Amino acid sequence: MLMQVNIADLAANAGKKAPFSFERDAASLDIGAADYRIEGTVAVLGTVSYTGRHYRAEGIIRCTKSFDCDRCLKPCMEAQEHPFSEDFQRTDDGAVGDADEDANGFTGDAIDLSSLVRDTILAAQPLSKLCKPDCKGLCAVCGADLNEGDCGCDRSVLDPRLAALRDLWQQRDE
């Protein structure tokens, strides 16, 4: 499904803003990866205005991400909001010499925001997926969830370069 904004009336009115809003199923936008999913609908709210040279689309994208926490492995849902501001330039008016490299091209009287929405959501995803910033994860010894309390296991890790020194210390105590 396309997310098209009609801009036919804006060229004659520089500075005028045309509001838009879309709600699309996340699956139709082909968003997601092997380790997370965008669930339900993706809502896009914003305005398009003509600056005299470009059409500027500004707004916010709202969606819900589901994933398993990288530390404690619990399933999580996270509401996300991603602001965007992007310039578009008409490419079918023959003004090839005036093309701006920073602006996205479009033809006709409508700007399709589908790629912008998809790319904004994908680029905003963090590398680590955590249920909360201070997630303690799982115990490496027994597998208990450390967010629910300490399990009592000895999780100290000795530097292998100091193992010989530890052995000497233990022999002295014997």
Angle at 57 between CA 103 and CA 110, to 5 degrees: 85
Residues 6+ apart with CB under 8 A from 26: 32, 37, 38, 39, 40, 41, 42, 63
pLDDT of res. 164: 82
At residue 26 the predicted structure's pLDDT band, cuts being 50, 70 and 90, is confident
Distant-in-sequence contacts of 95-103, Cβ < 8 A, 24+ apart = 100/53, 100/54, 103/54
The pLDDT > 90 percentage for the chain reads 48
Q: Domain coordinates of the chain in residue numbers?
A: 4-123, 136-174
> CA 4 from chain center: how many Å?
22
94 has pLDDT over 70? no
- Are 91 and 64 in contact by the 8 Å Cβ rule? The answer is no
More confident residue, 90 or 129: 129
Q: What is the pLDDT of residue 15?
A: 76
Does residue 133 or residue 96 have the better pLDDT?
Answer: 133
Give the pLDDT band of residue 100 (cuts 50, 70, 90): low
